[in-house]
Amino acid sequence: MDEGNGRIIGILINSDPKICVVCVYLPTNNASVNSIVDYGECLDILDHIINNYSATYKIVIAGKCNGTAQNVDAESNLELLMTILQKATKVSTPRKIIHLKGPKWKASPTAKILIDICHKTYREWCENGKPEGQLKHKKIKAQRELRRQFRMEKTLDRQDLYNQIMENPSTELFHRLIKRNRGSSVVKTPLLKIDNSEVNDPVKQRGCFMKYFEDLAIPKDKGYDEKYLELCTIRHKLISELCSNSTDAFVPFTENEIQSGINHLHTGKAIDEFDICAEQLKTAGDILVPIITKTFNSILCNGAFPDALKSGILTPILKKLKDPSILDNYRGITVTPVSSLSYLNVYYCL
């Protein structure tokens, strides 16, 4: 048969009754060579063969199945999930950068005409060897006219927004005004002041930020409310004892609950450290929900949160109107893994 790979070979025997013999040699559970993913691919092929031939053939599966790969913990399931998503990303993402033609904004008809004139005058200037004189002045004049048109259209658009807010105020228009006023400027600093010294190298600056936020995350004895800390410790201990001594039956997550948690993820956000975003989980929900359900139930049953979901990408953000050369003037914004956000959303949706 055509179905199969290097580890699965099938033979169709047209006897009475018809027999389909499938010889398998499945990989073992060896994380060092990423065999969990290979094992899952082989199981998919076997499932495809069984669904296609079970109606007309008696199927005989023989060989070495290496069942040790079936019993995997939450860490292994997460590794499998993230590897599948990363492979899908590499396949679906274009290898070459796609340059969009034309303006990225909704330009007016007048602006489009001026854009064409700018392109035409620039090409004419380049084709003649970029000379000084009339062609260059013509190009510069066209660029100035285009910039003047852009400034005028932005002013009219801004005034139109103000008029809409005054005539028909709404939350959407208010947030649009806030986003417009925030701007998109990026703050950069040529140096950081560390212990009476200046650090100019970007690589060393990243190291300084890393040490600063690591030290910031370590609990200190200063500034704590001792009574409140003691109360929190007692509560944590009581909750742990109640959970460990509880006789209530374990209620696992259902696939519908997991799907609901995934649907509540916000799209258009930054990817996490595993190059995974919410759009991937939402698009591949039917395929990934069983794996995610098994993983989350393992976390809930064992009471251990995987280390892979505890990390994130931290970005230093300068506080408003502060000196960018001083580390204390930065706060950290962390992009947590999408899978951990899904886990939290499942609880919120219960």
Q: Return the pLDDT at 202.
A: 84
Q: Which of 160, 182, 204 is the last residue of a domain?
A: 182
Q: Is beta strand 192-194 parallel, antiparallel or unpaired with respect to 197-199?
A: antiparallel
> In the structure encoding, which two tokens stand for residue 294, read together?
């098994």
Q: Return the pLDDT at 98.
A: 57
Rounded average pLDDT per 10-residue block, the chain, 350 residues: 84 88 77 63 82 86 66 68 75 60 69 91 91 90 91 86 83 74 59 85 87 81 76 89 81 89 85 85 81 86 82 86 87 86 77
If asked whether residues 326 and 234 sit together in one domain, one would say yes
In-domain check, residue 214: yes
In-domain check, residue 40: yes
By C-alpha distance, which of 211, 217, 218 is closest to 192? 211
Burial 20-57 (b: 16+ CB within 10 A, else e): bbbebebbeeeeeeebbebbeebbebbeebeeebeeeb
Q: Return the pLDDT at 33.
A: 52
CA 327 to chain centre: 28
By C-alpha distance, which of 349, 345, 258 is closest to 298? 258
Q: Other CB atoms closer than 10 Å to residue 272's CB: what's the count?
A: 22
What is the domain range of residue 220?
Answer: 192-349
Torsions phi, psi of 14, nearest 5? -85, 60
Is 346 in contact with 258 (CB distance < 8 Å)? yes
If asked whether residues 198 and 319 sit together in one domain, one would say yes
DSSP string, 116-149: HHHHHHHHHHHHTTS-SSHHHHHHHHHHHHHHHH
By C-alpha distance, which of 61, 65, 60 is closest to 27? 65
Q: Which of 123, 153, 182 is the last residue of a domain?
A: 182
> In the structure encoding, which two tokens stand for residue 44, read together?
């998919």
Q: Which of 182, 202, 228 is the last residue of a domain?
A: 182
Task: Give the number of domains in the chain.
Answer: 3
